[in-house]
Amino acid sequence: MKISDKFKNRGGAPIVSVEIFPPKKEEAFQNVGLMLEKFKTLGPAYISVTCGAGGSANRRNKTIELASMIKNKFSIDSMAHLTCIASTAASIESELKEIEKSGIENVLALRGDIPKEGFDPSKSEYSYASELIEKIKAESGLCVAAAAYPEGHIECDDLDESIEVLKIKQDAGAEVFVSQLFFSNEYFYKFLDKAVKAGITVPITPGIMPMMTKSQISNMIFTCGASLPAAMIRLLNKYENSHDDLLKAGIEYAGAQISDLTKNGAAGIHIYSMNKPEVAARLMEYV
């Protein structure tokens, strides 16, 4: 089922989804069914599958393979991430055909990470996610989701400009937006208010990630540009030497975010699960 239709038919209940990534090691990938069995018991509306940092061809193939497995073997609607910065029109067309052939109905269109070595962005056939969205809409019948950045994109510190880009993505054909993670709901509410005033009419789902380790949070700050509220900094300092206590505090913190978002009418909740069904299960209790 197309995710856009899920939102149209949701009534007043939020659409709850989770994100996973293809395991890097082949033996782990072969055992991914055990993880998906656990996710299935949670009943997510859909599962999105990332293509990993760098978006290599092998990782992209694993994305489609895993998204197909979710849809066809486990009967859960899936959404495959698709990046464009290092892609050609021909490669995008090939991937779209493979995605549709696999029975997948949804994609998340992203620019993707710029390769660190041996790549000249000026020679890329695609420079922006909006260009990829237009390509997908022209070449397929897929539902297209796109990314939203409540604190602005890490490469752009102007929130108003980020909203303008969001509108360009919607005009290109984006039917749903999934937000980057954030640790203060106030950023999301401010962003949502600006988006609506700018003419955004499609659903924007807030993305929530629980803190699990201090290194994980540090990585998110540098790769995503997410801000750390004082309350989270205090928790990190208090429990940094106790993995179990930090995880418990992280789930409670993210759970409070979810409860507040749900209470205030969020269209959906997208959980960045880090491939941990047990964490997703505990967070779903707050919806």
pLDDT score, position 30: 80
pLDDT of residue 55: 45
Strand partners, 146: 109, 177
Each residue's pLDDT, cut to its tens digit, for the chain (287 residues) gives: 999 999 999 999 999 999 999 998 887 888 899 999 999 999 999 999 998 644 455 566 899 999 999 999 999 999 999 999 989 999 999 999 999 999 999 999 999 988 777 777 777 899 999 999 999 999 999 999 999 999 999 888 899 999 999 999 999 999 999 999 999 999 999 999 999 999 999 999 999 999 998 888 888 888 888 999 999 999 999 998 999 999 999 999 999 999 999 999 999 999 999 999 999 999 999 99
Q: Look up the CATH architecture of domain 3-284.
A: Alpha-Beta Barrel (3.20)
The pLDDT of residue 223: 85
Collapsing DSSP to helix, strand or coil, 211 comes out as: coil
Residue 120 pLDDT: 76
b or e along 211-231 (b: 16 or more beta carbons within 10 Å of the residue's beta carbon)?
Answer: bbeeeebeebeeebbbebeee
* Domain positions in the chain: 3-284
User: What is the rounded CA–CA span in Å between residue 35 and residue 38?
Assistant: 5
Which one-letter amino acid corresponds to residue 274?
M
Return the pLDDT at 28. Answer: 81
CB 268 within 8 A of CB 15: yes
pLDDT at 154 (0 to 100) = 87
Per-residue model confidence (pLDDT) at position 24: 85
> How many Cβ atoms from other residues are within 10 Å of residue 158's Cβ?
10
Contact 16, 284 (CB under 8 A): yes
Cβ atoms 218, 225 nearer than 8 A: no
Catalytic residue, candidates 19, 131, 134, 151: 19
Q: What pLDDT is recorded for position 214?
A: 86
Q: Please list the alpha-helical segments (H only) found in the chain.
A: 3-8, 26-30, 32-42, 57-72, 89-101, 129-139, 159-172, 185-197, 214-224, 230-239, 243-263, 277-284
Asked if 19 is an active-site residue, the reply is yes
> Which candidate, 47, 40, 44, places its Cα nearest to that of 20?
47
Q: Which residues, 6+ apart, have CB-to-CB distance to 79 below 8 Å? A: 3, 17, 46, 47, 48, 49, 67, 104, 106, 107, 108, 145
Q: What is the pLDDT of residue 200?
A: 98
For 68, the token pair is 């197909």
The pLDDT tens digits for 50-74 are 986 444 555 668 999 999 999 999 9
Q: Return the pLDDT at 60.
A: 67
